[in-house]
Amino acid sequence: MKKNELKDFLDSKVIQYNRPDFLESDPIQIPHQFQKKEDIEISAFLTATIAWGNRKSIINNAKRLMEIMDSSPHDFIMNHKDTDLDKLSGFVHRTFNEFDLQYFIQSLQHIYMNHGGLESIFTKHQAKDSLQPTISKFKELFFELPHQTRTTKHVSDPLKGSAAKRINMFLRWMVRDAKSNVDFGIWENIPTSKLSCPIDVHSGNVARKLRLLKRKQNDAKALAELDTALRKLDPIDPVKYDFALFGLGVFEKF
């Protein structure tokens, strides 16, 4: 398939899948429950953190997370008392457990009190062409407080070889505009050109079949390779092709 044919094909798939009905089976439906900016970004970050495995299970556990925080995640983060954390008891999603969640709540409070919030960190520390070094800096700041070593695995570090699928997905949600009523576009000082496509089994396999990606592992090097290919198709909004690659893989078994 020639470059212009591939672009036309993928652009048509973006239109097909970048739609509100996409929300019905996607974890992004969780932050769509909220109107307040801080509620949206906190619920999105926590949902993205547990977004691996069965999608139904992800959505159900993310809903439970919001219920634990009284459906007011920002207020809970900022104003919870020690006794409120008792409600975290027994929470688990795969390897993310109540102790990880407790640290995430403490760290998010620290970030909003001392770093200006999630948006401020990613905006202040954004690199010239990519947000991958920014994600690494975010991880450093996120684990400033005393923590269990095991909890650090729940925030990926691209500079240590990770494709950082979940946090790249979170950044797509926050940065891409809301014209299609899917993403939110509430972080206006980060250009979409710096976003990277979240690579998972489905999008990675489709990218390889379309010869957008040669590397076999879904790691940081694969992400950089896919970034280069997608930015040739659309240098302004390359991550829009996440919808095409994911849709082709999950819904069409391409």
Model confidence pLDDT, tens digit, residues 23-73:
888 999 999 999 999 999 999 999 999 999 889 999 999 999 999 999 999
Domain assignment of residue 184, given as a range: 3-250
39 or 1, higher pLDDT: 39
The confidence score (pLDDT) of residue 5 equals: 93
Model confidence pLDDT, tens digit, residues 134-190:
999 999 999 999 999 999 999 999 999 999 999 999 999 999 999 999 999 999 999
Q: State the pLDDT confidence band at 2, using cuts at 50, 70 and 90.
A: confident
**Arithmetic mean of pLDDT, 217-225:** 97
DSSP the chain: --HHHHHHHHHHHHHHHSSGGGGGGSGGGTGGG--SHHHHHHHHHHHHHT--S-HHHHHHHHHHHHHHTTT-HHHHHHH--GGGGGGGTT-EETTEEHHHHHHHHHHHHHHHHHS--HHHHHHHT--SS-SHHHHHHHHHHHT-S---GGGGGGS--GGGT---HHHHHHHHHHHS-STTSSS----TTS-GGG--PPP-HHHHHHHHHTTS---SS-SHHHHHHHHHHHHHH-SSSGGGHHHHHHHHHHTS--
- The total number of structural domains that make up the chain: 1
Mean pLDDT of all residues in the chain?
95
